[in-house]
Structure 1
Amino acid sequence: MTHENLSYAINLKGFDSIDSYVRNRFGKNARHIFKKRKRLELCLNISCKKYVGVIGEGEYAVLMSALKIMLIVRFKQRNDINEVLTSWEELTNNLIHDIRSNKASLFVIYDSNEPIQISIQYHFGKIMRAAINGYDIVYEKFSLGSMALYEQAKWCLENGYEILDQGYGYLDHKRMWSNYIYHYKHQVCFSKQFKSVIVGNLVYLKFLVKEYLKSKGIKEYWEELKNRINKKGRETESRNIDHSFNIINQNFDFKGVLKEMDFNSSKGLKKITNDFLYATVEHIDDVKMFQVLNEKNTYFLKGKQHAQKFLFVEYS
Structure 2
Amino acid sequence: MFEMAFNKTLPHFYKQSYHITDHTISLKTVETKTASVFNKISMVIDVPSYIKVAKKEFDYAIGFKSIKQYNGYYIDLNGYIEVEDYLKDRFSRSSRQLLRAGKQRLEICFNSSYRMYYGDIDKSLYDALFKRFFNMLKQRANEKGIENRNLKHWDLYTKDVYNMILNKQASLFVIYDSNKAINISLNMHLGKTVYLFITTYDIDYSKFRLGHTNWMLQLEWFIKNDIKIVDFSKGNIEYKKRWANNEYHFEYHFFYNKSNILNKLKVFWMVSILKLKQVLRNGNMNTYYYNFLDKLKPDRESFKKINYELIQQELPNKKENLVIISNDEFDEYSFLRRMVYNYLYLSKLHIDEVIVYKELSNEERFYIKSEKESFKIYFNKK
Query: For the pair shown, which has the larger CA radius of gyration, 1 or 2?
Result: 2
Tell whether the 8 Å contact from 1:241 to 1:268 is kept in structure 2 after alignment: no
- 1:187, distance to aligned residue in structure 2 (A): 5.6
Give the Cα separation in 2 of the matches to 1:298 and 1:245: 12
Name the aligned partner's letter for residue 18 of structure 1. V
**Counterpart check, 1:213 vs 2:277:** yes
Give the Cα separation in 2 of the matches to 1:304 and 1:266: 23
Give the Cα separation in 1 of the matches to 2:149 and 2:296: 23
Gaps of 5+ in 2: 1-65, 258-262
Give the Cα separation in 2 of the matches to 1:3 and 1:126: 25
Partner of 1:242: 306
Q: Report SS of the residue matched to 1:54.
A: coil
Partner of 2:365: 298
- Which runs of structure 2 are paired with 1:158-307 in the superposition (5 Å)? 158-185=224-251, 209-210=273-274, 212-217=276-281, 220-227=284-291, 237-238=302-303, 240-249=304-313, 253=317, 255-262=319-326, 264=330, 265-293=332-360, 297-307=364-374
**Counterpart check, 1:120 vs 2:168:** no
Tell whether the 8 Å contact from 1:2 to 1:183 is kept in structure 2 after alignment: no
Query: How many aligned residue pairs are there?
Result: 302
Tell whether the 8 Å contact from 1:74 to 1:137 is kept in structure 2 after alignment: yes
Name the TM-score, length of structure 1 as normaliser: 0.83
Give the Cα separation in 1 of the matches to 2:312 and 2:109: 21
Deviates more, 1:261-270 or 1:98-107: 261-270
Give the Cα separation in 2 of the matches to 1:12 and 1:154: 11
RMSD, matched Cα: 3.3
Name the aligned partner's letter for residue 309 of structure 2. F
Partner of 2:19: none
1:150/1:104 Cα in 2 relative to 1: closer, same or farther (>3 Å)?
same
Deviations 1:57-94 (A, max 9, x none): 21111111111111111112222222222221112111
- 1:209, distance to aligned residue in structure 2 (A): 4.4
Of 130, 134, 154, 1:64 maps to 130
Give the Cα separation in 2 of the matches to 1:130 and 1:107: 11
Deviations 1:94-149 (A, max 9, x none): 11121111111111111100011111101122221110112111111111111110
Aligned-residue identity in percent:
26
- Which runs of structure 2 are paired with 1:77-156 in the superposition (5 Å)? 77-156=143-222
**Counterpart check, 1:19 vs 2:84:** yes
Name the aligned partner's letter for residue 26 of structure 1. F
Partner of 2:15: none
- 1:248, distance to aligned residue in structure 2 (A): 1.4
**Counterpart check, 1:6 vs 2:71:** yes
Tell whether the 8 Å contact from 1:4 to 1:183 is kept in structure 2 after alignment: yes
Give the Cα separation in 2 of the matches to 1:133 and 1:278: 23
Partner of 1:195: none
Partner of 2:35: none
Tell whether the 8 Å contact from 1:5 to 1:184 is kept in structure 2 after alignment: yes
Give the Cα separation in 2 of the matches to 1:174 and 1:305: 41
Q: Report SS of the residue matched to 2:147.
A: coil
Name the aligned partner's letter for residue 74 of structure 2. A
Tell whether the 8 Å contact from 1:39 to 1:281 is kept in structure 2 after alignment: yes
Q: Report SS of the residue matched to 1:247.
A: strand
Gaps of 5+ in 1: 193-197
1:2/1:306 Cα in 2 relative to 1: closer, same or farther (>3 Å)?
farther
The structure with the greater share of residues assigned to helix is: 1
**Counterpart check, 1:45 vs 2:111:** yes
Moved over 6 A (4+): 205-208, 228-233
Give the Cα separation in 2 of the matches to 1:103 and 1:189: 30
